[in-house]
Structure formats: C-alpha cells, structure tokens
Structure 1
Amino acid sequence: MTARGIFNLWGDIIRSYRQVGSLRWLVLGIVVGILSGLLAVAFFAAVEFGKFMLLHKFSGMSLPAPAGEEIFHGAPGALRPWLIPIFTTITGLVTGWLVNKYIPETTSGGTDGTDATIKCFHQGAGLFRPIVPIIKGLTSVFTIASGGSAGREGPITQMGAGIGSWLAQKLGLSAKERRILLLSGAAGGLGAIFRAPLGGALTAIEVIYREDFEAEAVLPSVLSSVVAYSIFTFFYGTDPIFGIPHFSFHDPRELIFYTALAFACALAGWLYVRTFRFIKFSVFARLTDRVGLMWATAFGGLCMGLFGMFFPEVLAGGYGWLEMSIMGELPIMMMLTIVVGKTLATSVTIGSGMSGGMFAPALFVGGMTGGIVGQVAGKYYPDIVTQPGGYVLVGMAAFFAGVAKAPIGPLIMVCELTQGYGLLAPLMLASALCIVLGRSFSLYEHQVDNKFESPAHIEDATINILEQMKVGEHYIPGRVTTLEEGTTLKALTDIIANTNELYFPVKSEEGHISGILTIHNVRNVLFNQDLFDLILTKDLATKPAVLTCEDDLYTALLKFVDTDYGQIPVVSQDDPDTIIGIINREDVFRAYADSIRELGNEE
C-alpha cells in the first residue's frame, strides 16, 4: 500500500470515529479498559502484598485465602496480634489527615467509593478531581492491608471511574459522554478485580439506580470490562476467586429453602444497613463534629484493630472464610457469629471515614447468611438439600441485590465465579424476593429510583417537566375571534381579511364549541366566489379541541400532536364554552426549552 493509500485509510478511520457513535464508544471503551485493567493489576498486588507483610509476616496471622487469590506465599512471622490495632490506628490517623487536607468534599461522598461514583454520575456531571481516586486508592490499600474490614471493589470502582472521567476531560467530551466513560471505568475495575467481565459491566450500569439501568453505557462498559479482565488475568491467571466444586439445582422442592434464604438475607440486609447508618451518623458523625475527622478515623481504626485482634475472622475482605463456608468447613454458630461481627467491623471501619468498599463485606455477610440456611436445611432435609454450599453463593448475590438494588450484575457474577449456570433458577428467585423485601432500605445513599429522578437526565425528562407546568402560566389571555357554524364563506373571507389569526373556534347555535376552522381548510375555496353563499363554516371546520388553565403542558402537547393545530383555545374552568384566550404550539416548546436551560444552569 502506498503512503497516499495509508493516509487515506487513516483519514477514513478518523472520520468514522468522529461520525459513527458505536465505533467511537468501541475505541473509548477499549482505551478505558486498558487503563483500568492496569490499575486493577497494581491495586490488587499492592493490597495482597500489604496484607502479606502487615498481617502475615509482622502480626503472624494465618488467615485463610481463597484458591484464586493467594499470590504471596511464606511462613507466618511470630504471633504479634497487638500490632494490628497499631496498624489500623495509624492508617485511620493518616487517612483522616489526607482526606481533611486535600479532599474534604469527599466526607459527604456517601457510603464508599461505589457510592461516590454514583454521586459523581448524578450530581457531579461525571467530573472527578484526579487527586480524589488517588488518595482514596492509596488509603484503601493500607486500610485493607492493615486488617480493616473493607473490600477492594469500592475503591477500584472509584479509581476506574476516575480514569474514565480524566480521559473524558482530556478529550474535551460532553457531560453526557463523561458520565458514560465514568461508568465504563467503573465496569473495567469491577470486571477485573472480580474476574467476572459480564457481571462487572452490568453491576456498574445498574447500581446507580434502584429501578433502572444506564442503557447507553452498555457498549463501552462491556468492552472496558472485557479488556480490563483480559489484562488482569494475563498477570494473575483465569482461575476464579474461589476453588469450589460445581453446583447445580435439580430438585424443585429446594426452592422452598431458597425462598427462606431470601427472607433471611433480607433481614440480614436490613440489620447490615441500619447498623452501618447508626454507627456512621449517630456515633462517628457526632465524634467528627467534636474532635475532627482525623481523630475520628483514628478512633475507628483503633476499635477495628482491637476487634480484629480478638476476632480475626472479621479482618480484611474475608474471602478465605467464604470459601471455607462454601466447602462446609464452618459450623453454623461460627457463621452466625461472623455475620454479626463482620457487620459491626465494617460499620466501624467505613463509618468512621476510613477508605474501602462495602461491596465485599456485603457479599461476605450474604454468603454467611446463605451458609447458615443451607446447613440447617441440609441437616434436616438431606435428601432435598444435597449441596448446602450452593446457598452461600446464592446468598451472596441475593443479599447484595437486596441492599444495593442491583439484581442482574451480582447474579451474573456468581455464575461467572462458579463457571456455570447451575444455580441460575434459585439465584433469580432469591434475588427478586430480596429486592421486594428490601425495598424500604438501600446501602448506597446517592442512588436514585430511575432516570427521571437523576439530574444527569434532565434533558430526557420531557414528560416530567411538562407535567409540572400549567397552561394558565403560558397561554395568551384576551379576546379570540369566534365563528358561528352558519357563517357563510363570503362573510368568512371578510373576517379573515381583518385578522391575523390562523385558527378559529367554531360555535353551534346552542353556543357550544363544535370545531376549529384553520386557514389551511379554507385556502382551496377562499377565492371561489361561486361558493361564497353555498359553503358554511361548519362544512370546513374540523374536530374541536380546547384546554383549561389547569391542564398541564404535557396534555397540551398531546392535543397539538393529535390535531396538528398550531393554536388551541383556552376555556374557562367553570364554563367550557367560554373562551378566555389561546395557547400557541410554540409557547409549549418555548416553556420546555426555558426549563431545560434553567435546570442546566443549576447543574
């Protein structure tokens, strides 16, 4: 190929990128996936190395690790559990100082990094200051590595979203495009860290709403997640997090116990969210007001460290304990104790202001809750419940679906973790029930119900905006030229010649509005003098249409669309035959445009 041919080909590619939306998102999704995948690789290595050094070597703690995550090996050091509260307290102290000095706005960012991303999508126009995910990422590494009860998923979501936002700003993209890349980066981080590309992508686009999902972000999010996952597995392999046997659903009677599981997860989810909110707002928020953020997070770190020193099952993410539960190696009372302990430990860690995610602890608590139900059911009905470990996996997805209102993504994640769809039916049932049972509470503070409730979709909320405005605020009051049904064409020509109006209400002999006469209807016969005395107004009028001052502009818009009129008379609320003014089609469009402009300026 000649140099000129290469130049022309490159020009075609550039034009396609600029003009073909799907190709553009394909390119951007891949780029974001590469960056978020590399970030996930570094973040995972930092967290695991930090845990290996601080908990395993220095503190001498031998915590179980899932089969797919133990990347550092070595004999534990001398047992020094008293180091754990020292590590967590220092981490809390440094975290509070860094946040208070450099990113104080994040103290109202919500539950965790995932919630901060949700807030940025809805309220921040997709703009993340680069320093925010940097500081949150670094402090999360030390929080988890020192033993804080937090997960990697929240921080990597925020860091991936920060990459998407940064790239969008560098490319000068619009607010809508920034938001889409924000979700794409979050999807890349989740897909990589969970080794679940489809589940990560779907979770990112649905967790921002309680009853909806961001359809426009599907393509770049899936691409980003797949690319990030591929990069992550290039370094760490394709084995799933848990080394577990294949689970399947084969007895319909077992759905009874999965229904019971859903109720148990809904109750545990309610306690999880209520406990977190109480500790965050009633304890640490008040403490922060009195002594400052730095000392509040230090106190939270101290409490977490002391708790973890005597109860190591609540330290860090805890996926190793989950794997043991799946394999049936934990007794029922131990799992029940872990559910309570993990709820308290996570609430203290994240509620005090330390960095980390609520995602992994939620899966942990849900999995243990499922393990309790599975073991109890298996003990009394062994012929029906033959694989109690499957209840742990279903509990993970159902619990998170209930507290985060994200049913599809976690469900797919569990299928990817088990590398099969054998548990699909109970997963769907339990997740759906948990969402219904948990409709009164939500883990993430900045979730909104749907797109119409989100400032990010103001321009899409045409119906909502028009329904809030009344005809009485936008019509033109005054005299309107009204015709009688018996008016002849000759008289009509004189009336039209002496007015600038284009639409005329027509009244019957009884005084009722019986139709609308438009200039378009008259045009073909207007100058035919032979018909002047033969054609009456009622012969030319079309169907009637009226509005009242109490009607909303959406009703008015529907009538304009239905009749194709440019004007509609406005009648009295008390007397539907008394015309008090007229409203133009342009008045509706202008009112909508002005409202959109005002809301955009507020944003």
Structure 2
Amino acid sequence: MNLHAPHRLRHRPLGDHSADWRMLLLAAMAIVVGSGGALGAWTILKLIALATNLFWFGRLSAGPALITDSPVGYAVAVIPVIGSLIVGVMARYGSDKIRGHGIPEAIETILFGESRLSLKVALLKPLSAAVSIGSGGPFGAEGPIIMTGGAIGSLFAQCFQLSAAERKTLLVAGAAAGMTAIFGTPLAAILLAIEVLLFEWKPRSFVPVVVAVLVSFAWRPLLIGAGPMFATASGQPAGLWVIAAAGALGLVVGLEAALLSGTLYRVEDLFHRLPVHWMWWPAIGAIFVGIGGLVDRHVLGSGYASIQALLDGSLVTRVVLALLFVKAIVWLIALGSGTSGGILAPLLILGGATGCLVGHVLPGDAGFWAMIGMAGIMSGAMRAPMTGALFSAELTGHLDGLPATIAAAAIAYAVSVLIARRSILTEKIARRGRHILQEYTVDPLEFLQAGQLMTPHPDALPGSMTVAAASDHFAEGAKHRSYPVVDAEGRLLGMASRTDALRWQVEGVDSRTSLAETLSDVSQPSAYPETPCGEIADIIIETGVGRIPIVDTAHRVVGILSRQDLLKARSAHRHAETARSRFTKAT
C-alpha cells in the first residue's frame, strides 16, 4: 500500500492561528493598496469639489465650495435632476454596479464574486459619485471610496496569483484605507473591516488591513489634511448619569436606524413598480431632492459642513429640524432610486440632528450629544457597534467620550438587531436571494479533533481474509458499509466496503486472493487523533469516502470517523446554544 497517499494527513503542530509566511507577502502588497486607497480618496474629494463648482457656480475649479453659497436661485430644483440624468446614463451604458451606496456591492463581491472587481467599476464609481454629490445628491463620499478603494485592492490583487481569500484581504485593505484617508479614523476603519467586510478574524487578513490603513493615514496630511475631520471643542458633562443618558439616546437612534432602513427599501420597491426603465429612476428621485433644496439648501450635497455645525452646536433649531426630516426624506428617495452615493454622512447628519435636539434638554453642549447620536445611528444602521462607538470619538478628537459612545452604540445595536432582521447594508443583498450572517463563531469542526469524535477500537477485517470470505461477510448483513483492513500488527492496509465486494464479483477477482493483496495498490485516506475535524471533513468532500480511519504514528488503526460523527459536532454546538438548565455540575 502507498503510505504516502495524497489524502493521508501529515503530523503538524497545531496552533491558535492558521497564519503562514504569505501573511507578510500580503502585508507588503498592502503598502501599495493603502497608497492607492489614499490617492483614490483624494481623487474623489477633488472630483466632488470640481462637480460642485461646475453645477452650482459655473466655474472650473476643484477648490472648496458650499452649495448653500450658490447664487442659482430657483435652479436649485433643476440641478439635481441634471446630475441624476448623467448618473443614470453612466449606469445604463457603463456599469450598473455603480448604482447604490457601494458597501452592499463590496460585501456581495467579497462573499459571492471571489473578490473580483473590474477596472470599469473602479473608474465609473468615483465619477458617478462625484456627479451625484456635486449636483446636490444628499450623500457622502465614504460609500463610493469604500467601493473605489476596494476596486483598487482587488485589481492589484488580480495582477498576481492569489486565492480568493487573499484577494478579499487586499480588497478590504483598500476599502479601509480609503475610509481612513477621508475621515482620518484609522481605528474605526480597521473595526469596520472586521465587523462589516472581512467576515473573519484572522492574522492573514488583519495584519495587511492594518498596514494599508496606517499607510493611508501617513499619506493623509499630505493629500487631505491632518487632525480630526470634525474637530470640536464641545464640552462633556460629568457624572455617571451621562452613560445612562447616552444609552437612552442610543435607544432612540436605534429605533430611528431601523425605521430608516425599512423605509428605504419600501421606497426602492415603489421605484421598481414604475413603468419606466431604471435609468430614469435617479432623475425622478432627484425631483424630490430639488424640492428639498428649495425648503433648505443644507439638505443638499455631502453635508460635511452641516456635520461640523451640529458638533459645534451652532445651528438654529429650524435648520436642525430640516436636517432631521427633510434630509431624511430626500436621502431615502434619492438612494431608493438607485443613484450613486454613500450612506454614512447622511446617517451622521440624522443621528447628529437627533442628538442635538435632545441636547437642548440635557446638561452639556448640544454638540456632545450630537456626537453620541452619530455613534448610535451608525451602529444601529450598519450593525457595527464598535465601529460606530470609536468612529464618532476619532472623528471629533473626543476619545474621552468613548464610554458614552459605547453605551449609545451598544443600545442602538441591541434595538436594531431585535426589531429588524437585516441591516441597511445586507437587506439589498438578501433581496437578491442571498443570505448574509453577520455573526462570527468558532467552527465546531475546527475546534474539535478527530480523537474526540471518533469511534474508538472499530471492528476491522484482517488482511489475511480472502475475497470470498469478505464478500460473504457483507452479504450476511454486516453492521457497517465499510471496514478498515489491517495487518497482523493492526496497521492500516485500506478499507473494504459492500461496493468493493460487488466490484470484485463483477470483475472476476480470484476469490482466494487475500484482502491485503487486493488492496495493496489502493491509496487510503487516513488521519490522526490530533487532526482537526474540519480537515477530515475536507478529505471526505474531496474523496467521497464516508468513513476515515484514524491511526497512530505507527499507522495502527485506533478509531474510525464517519460523516455521522462529524454531524454530531454540529448537534453538540446547537445543544450548547439552545439547551438551558440551572445549577449544572461543574467538570
């Protein structure tokens, strides 16, 4: 018998992690991806500024420009429609993947597209987002930069011979790098990668993402600027009651996040019922954006100036109410129409407006409570509580407010997951018939070893048994479909099954031949008691062999592991999740 069969596992030291030296290769590649993500973020911001100047001021400039300062008058109702028509044409004749806010598309590419994004998407997504936001679309740049940064990472990865998992690592590294460059929030970007995009916690992905984020953060002062994006001097009230009040605000914005998510997809359903091609939907949605602009121009564009004003507590109540209600309406309609734009900046505005209003009746600066509202609504809408808590603190430079942002984020997250089945990010994917589970658990098959699940001392057939005797054994009602065949010392020679007995009869194998001779040229997969059960499951899938012998270092059979045994691990895991008892005896 060939003892070096391709599916016989070698002894290898087991460890806490599965990292190998390719992690360092990916980390080196992440330097390039992080630089690309930072440059992509700078490009998008410049394109948005260029589009804003063209649409609202009629000038060719990439300098700062606020829509609220534009002298266009009642044309404010027309300009968003023009921009949305352009986006619709780009989506129809360029790529429909530029539609939406980018993060669901990135998740879908990671989970179902082998992390392959095209050059066309990398070019058209920032252009379409710039046109949409620059013409007054009520979006932020973060969704498009996550898609664009991810495309940069994916395209770079596709230049090399990498696995889908390795491409995913570089795609997410580019997305996190882009977010870091825009907002200057490296820790939150890393957490966003873990909570929303990676769908794993492994050194193989964590280390390259950190490298890309740090590289992007190093580029940021040269490309965009240093320091917190929305630095504020808002004072934090003192006392333990602040944590309780932050939790209560988290409850409010958690309900708000669930309401926004549900409403968004109801609006999207309404657009799907329209008797016109989807290319025209963004322009139809932009009509409502223009009307909202007539009510208050603060609801147009990315709204970064409004976020700063909310955090400073400098907005009058009328404007705050417009941001809360009018901004929500135009954003939901515009995003539901399928145009290109992000969700994070609008969420920050809506959560910040809620917090600002609550702050008028609570001690402390209204800007502090706006920050708490931003943390909560981001957590509740995106189902990323740690990202939401840290993002708001990093964004404003108020790391001393972390206990309060954590309280708001945790409560908002709890409310959101209890009353809504999907997040604003995953509902779109679910509507395409694909299920997303945003929970990380240890695979019981990777946690358990063969020795813990195997049937010890299994029945075996001696190698000296003849083919005739073995055939009779199976014909007389053997307990199992297959048996290990061993030599006089108990060493594995192979496996004999009912199928083998039938094959011997059909092929006319000499009935006096011993099983040892019959199986001498057969390579039999086997494993060791220390082998993780996940590896044995892989062997069963690859070979189609349903029972795997477990052997010791001398290749003596000590057990057998079947498909049914592997399913027991799943059953035990489910039992631990659902069975409830009191005062169980400790072991």
In the superposition, the TM-score normalised over structure 2's length comes to: 0.70
* Alignment partner, residue 34 of structure 1: 35
* Unaligned segments of structure 1, at least 5 residues: 1-18, 60-69, 378-384, 483-494, 506-515, 525-552, 569-583, 592-603
Query: In the alignment, which residue of structure 1 is the partner of 2:209?
Result: 221
1:122 touches 1:456 (CA, 8 Å); kept in 2? no
Distance 2:86 2:65 in 1: 29
CA contact (8 A) 1:183 1:205 kept: no
1:314 aligns with 2:302: no
SS for the counterpart of 2:155 is helix
**Residue from 135, 148, 162 that aligns with 1:159:** 148
2:391 is the counterpart of 1:410: no
Is residue 21 from structure 1 mapped to residue 36 from structure 2 by the alignment?
Answer: no
Distance in 2 (CA, whole Å) between partners of 1:402 and 1:78 is 35
Q: Return closer, same or farther for 1:190/1:75 CA change in 2, 3 Å cut-off.
A: closer
Structure 1, residues 75-127: CA drift from partner, whole Å, max 9, x if none? Answer: 997732322332211221121122112213566xxx52111111111111101
Q: Label 1:242 to 1:455 Cα distance change in 2 as closer, same or farther (>3 A).
A: closer
Selected match of 1:269 from 250, 257, 266: 257
Match of 2:193 in 1: 204
Correspondent of 1:120 among 83, 105, 109: 109
In 2, Cα distance between equivalents of 1:73 and 1:332: 24
* Corresponding position of 2:514: none
Q: Do the aligned partners of 1:197 and 1:226 also contact (CA within 8 Å) in 2?
A: yes
Q: Report deviation, 1:517.
A: 12
Q: 1:148 aligns with which of 124, 137, 145?
A: 137
**1:386 counterpart = 2:364:** yes
Q: Which moved more, 1:255-264 or 1:336-345?
A: 336-345
Determine if contact 2:489/2:556 at 8 Å carries over to the other structure.
Answer: no
Q: 1:442 pairs with 399, 404, 423, which one?
A: 423
Quick check: 1:374 aligned with 2:362? no
Measure how far apart 1:205 and its partner are: 3.0
Q: How does 1:556-567 map to 2 (within 5 A)?
A: none
Task: Note if contact 2:104-2:429 (Cα within 8 Å) is conserved in structure 1.
Answer: no
Q: Structure 2 CA distance, aligned partners of 1:407 and 1:223?
A: 23
Hey, what does 1:433 align to over in structure 2? 411
Mapped partners of 1:176, 1:112: distance in 2: 24
Aligned CA distance change for structure 1 residues 519 and 408 (closer, same or farther; 3 Å): same
Matched, 1:284 2:265: no
Report the CA distance between 1:284 and its aligned residue.
Answer: 1.3
Q: 1:250 to 1:356 in 2, by over 3 A?
A: same
Query: In the alignment, which residue of structure 2 is the partner of 1:231?
Result: 219
Q: State the match for 2:12 in structure 1.
A: none
CA apart distance, 1:202: 2.0
Q: Distance in 2 between matches of 1:71 and 1:351?
A: 30
- Determine which structure has more spread, i.e. the larger CA radius of gyration: 1
In angstroms, what is the RMSD of aligned CA positions? 4.2
User: In the alignment, is the contact (CA less than 8 A) between 1:275 and 1:343 conserved in 2?
Assistant: no
Shift of 1:462: 7.9
Contact 2:153–2:174 (CA<8 Å) still a contact in 1?
A: yes
The AA in structure 2 aligned to 1:113 is G
After superposition, give the CA deviation of every residue in 1:10-33 in whole Å (9 maximum; x if it has no partner): xxxxxxxxx832321221111001
Inter-CA distance 89–454: structure 2 relative to 1 (3 Å threshold): closer
Name the SS of the counterpart of 1:422 in structure 2: helix
Q: Partners in 2 of 1:98 and 1:24 — Cα distance?
A: 37
* Structure 1 residue 156, shift from structure 2 partner: 0.5
> 2:485 and 2:379 mapped to 1: Cα distance?
57
What is the identity percentage for the equivalent residue pairs of Structure 1 and Structure 2? 25
Aligned to 1:239, the other structure's residue is in SS state: coil
Deviation, 1:314, is: 0.9
Aligned partner letter, 2:409? S
For 2:350 and 2:232, the matched residues in 1 are separated by 19
Q: Does 1:498 align with 2:465?
A: yes
Structure 2 CA distance for partners of 1:323 and 1:100, relative to 1, 3 Å: same
Deviation of 1:447 after TM superposition, in Å, equals 8.7
1:486 maps to what in 2? Answer: none
Which deviations, in whole Å up to 9, do the C-alpha atoms of 1:468-489 show, x marking residues without a partner? xxx9xxx9xxxx889xxxxxxx
Please, what TM-score do these two structures have when normalized by structure 1? 0.68
Aligned residue pairs, count:
466
> Is the CA contact 1:404–1:442 (under 8 Å) kept in the aligned structure 2?
yes
**Equivalent residues of 1:362, 1:399 under 8 A apart:** yes
Q: CA contact under 8 A between 2:88 and 2:280: conserved in structure 1? A: yes
CA distance in structure 1 between the aligned counterparts of 2:322 and 2:202, rounded to whole angstroms: 38
* AA aligned opposite 1:394: I
**Residue among 79, 86, 90 paired with 2:71:** 79
Residue 438 of structure 1 aligns to a residue whose secondary structure is helix
* Residue equivalent to 2:400: 422
- Distance change >3 Å, CA 389–CA 74, structure 1 → 2: closer
Deviation of the 1:333 alpha carbon? 5.3
Do structure 1's residue 131 and structure 2's residue 112 form an aligned pair? Answer: no
Letter paired with 1:197: P
**Aligned equivalents of 2:282, 2:202: Cα separation in 1:** 35
SS at match of 2:158: helix
Work out the CA distance in 2 between the residues paired with 1:333 and 1:260.
24
Q: How far apart, in 2, do the equivalents of 1:399 and 1:117 lie?
A: 21
- Aligned letter for 2:107? I
Alignment partner of 2:399: what SS? Answer: coil
Q: Pick from 86, 99, 104 the counterpart of residue 94 of structure 1.
A: 86
- C-alpha displacement at 1:300, in angstroms? 1.4
Q: d(CA) in 1 for partners of 2:392 and 2:215?
A: 20
Kindly state the Cα deviation for residue 411 of structure 1 after the two structures are TM-superposed: 2.2
Q: Give distance in 2, aligned partners of 1:303 and 1:435.
A: 31
C-alpha contact (below 8 Å) 1:557/1:588 kept by paired residues? no
Q: Is the 8 A contact 2:101 2:335 kept in 1?
A: yes
> 2 CA distance for matches of 1:301 and 1:561?
68
Alignment match, 2:333: 348
The residue type paired with residue 353 of structure 1 is G
- 1:510 corresponding residue in structure 2: none
Shift in Å, 1:58? 4.9
Whether the 8 Å contact between 1:97 and 1:293 is mirrored in structure 2 is no
- Structure 1 residue 422: deviation in Å? 0.9
Deviation at 1:454, TM superposition (A): 6.3
Give 1:203 deviation, angstroms. 1.2
For the residues of structure 2 that align with 1:214 and 1:354, how far apart are their CA atoms? 35
Aligned in 2, Cα 1:456/1:349: closer, same or farther, shift over 3 Å? closer
Q: Distance in 1 between matches of 2:438 and 2:119?
A: 21
Comparing 435-444 and 337-346, the one that deviates more: 337-346
TM-superposition CA deviations, 1:378-413 (whole Å, max 9, x none): xxxxxxx22332111111111111110112223222
Secondary structure at 1:149 match in 2: coil
- Contact 2:52–2:67 (8 Å) recurs in 1: no
State the distance in 2 between where 1:557 and 1:106 align: 49
Determine the structure 2 residue equivalent to 1:177.
166
Distance 2:156 2:237 in 1: 44
User: What CA distance in whole angstroms lies between the structure 2 residues aligned with 1:246 and 1:418?
Assistant: 9
Write the distance in 2 (CA, Å) between the matches of 1:414 and 1:77.
28
CA shift for structure 1 position 266: 1.1
Deviations 1:397-451 (A, max 9, x none): 11111110112223222222232421111111111111110002411126999xx
Instruction: Measure how far apart 1:161 and its partner are.
Output: 0.3
1:127–1:588 Cα change, 3 Å: farther
